[in-house]
Structure 1
Amino acid sequence: MGGCVFCGIVGGEVPAFRVADEPDGVAFLDTRPVFKGHVLVVPRDHLVTLTDLPAAALPGYFGLVQRLAVAVESGLGSGGTFVAMNNKVSQSVAHLHTHVVPRTKGDGLRGFFWPRTRYADDTEADSYATRITTALPS
């Protein structure tokens, strides 16, 4: 869909630090991560909300989200993950996306008041993407 940054990433027109590119979806680092290693998972088709995702696509899409939760935790050595999705309200890009955020005890995340950080440079972002991709179960 024209103008959608996530469609641009899926189509390869917009650069992103990809961690997965599969038939069921594409995953890449959030450019404004809550914590470094914060991944966004999007379906290939332009869908706006979870209710737009066909029932037949649920197992593949959420299977990818589940595998990425494992990869973020094991690849980054985090204590766990926070997995979330906004539908319409607080949805900064109108394309269905699921957040997979690495968590550690005492990381300061409280409720939905998320602090945001930045990667020092593309090299650091690439190292996080590589670590998650390497840990992604098949």
Structure 2
Amino acid sequence: MIVRNLQDEEKTGRRIVSPDGNWESTRMLLKDDNMGFSFHITTIYAGADFQMHYKNHLESVYCMAGEGEVETLEDGKKYPITPGTLYVLDKHDKHILRAFKEMKMACVFNPPVTGKEVHNAEGAYELEADPIEE
């Protein structure tokens, strides 16, 4: 059994802050945990507005707090994000995420990330990054 506490993990190398200052993510479950997916609690800072394109991963995102929107770039549709909203990037959707108020999100990635990933120039995570050293 794996048991972890968010407040404890936020004090370790599992907490990653984006170089661009848009978000921070505590990676609660990673590839090395051998579950077939990774699980993160991510905070998107108020005012963040950035493009992502997970070419190598599928992601589902559940909003626990805050307010914003996700815009799919293929068709320009905008979807409001509020507590209780789930959005799923099931087609490697190129998208823009905007936070009108700070958002707290629970995120699942498949395949699982190793832990140190941040978005590359295309807004994607590389398929294999260096694992977190604990």
- TM-score, normalised by the number of residues in structure 1: 0.32
Q: Which protein is richer in strand relative to its size?
A: 2
Q: Which protein is richer in helix relative to its size?
A: 1
- TM-score, normalised by the number of residues in structure 2: 0.32
